[in-house]
Amino acid sequence: MRPLIQRQIDQRILALQESARSMKGVDSWIGYFRKALGMTLSQLASRMEISYTAARELEQGEMSERITLRSLKRAAGALNCELVYAFVPRSGLDEMRENQARAKARSILKRARLQMEMEDQAVSRDEEEKLFEELVQKIKASKKLWEPVVDGASANRGSEGDEV
């Protein structure tokens, strides 16, 4: 990925991570904004053209993670809000790719090490570390970073033309 685009994405991720941290503890955004606006549940129900019971079930459904995006969007509209739906990475994208490449390299080298030991061809610890770092770089540069390890190598099923 180009450096400028990568920096822009990283900045957005940092902003999302900061927002997510500041929003912890809100069980129901519907209830949070409804109460902040001084709106009763009956008034919300009326604005959404649903019953009081259905409005109460919406708030409860949100708290128990059973609500649909469609229902959240309708409730947001009734509260004069925009629904924002986002994935917030737990770490930066570079760190996620690095961790994936390292885990994959460990798995590949573990299988290779076992095979080589059975054939009495084991390499030194220093040589293995060098191979590990080289493999991490190759994996990070490949399109197969996120494919599972199968028989000591990446699966080759139809990813050649996949766009990233």
Looking at the structure, do residues 47 and 111 belong to the same domain, yes or no? no
Q: Is residue 161 part of a domain?
A: no
| Residue 23, phi then psi, degrees to nearest 5 | -100, 0
Residue 164 lies in a domain: no
C-alpha to C-alpha distance for 41 and 59, rounded to whole angstroms: 9
With a cut of 60, say whether residue 154 has pLDDT above it: no
Mean pLDDT of the chain: 87
Q: Give 155 or 36, the one with higher predicted confidence.
A: 36
Q: Do both 111 and 145 map to the same domain?
A: yes
CATH number of the domain to which 25 belongs: 1.10.260
Last residue of a domain, one of 78, 108, 141: 78
On the 0-12 / 13-18 / 19+ scale of CB atoms within 10 A, 105 is: buried
Note whether 59 and 9 are same-domain residues.
yes
- Domain holding 15, by residue range, is 3-78
DSSP string computed for 14-34: HHHHHHHHHTTT-S-HHHHHH
Q: Which of 23, 48, 78 is the last residue of a domain?
A: 78
Q: Tell whether the model's pLDDT for residue 118 goes beyond 90.
A: no
The last residue of a domain, from among 50, 78, 106: 78
Nearest to 46 by CA among 36, 34, 28: 34
The verdict on residue 17 lying in a domain is yes
Same domain as 36, residue 63: yes
Same domain, 7 and 63: yes
Name the pLDDT band for 117 (thresholds 50, 70, 90): confident
Give yes or no: residues 109 and 132 share one domain. yes
Residue 160 domain-assigned (yes or no):
no
- How would you write 87-132 as a 3-class SS string? CCCCCCHHHHHHHHHHHHHHHHHHHHHHHHHHCCCCCCHHHHHHHH
The structure's pTM equals 0.66
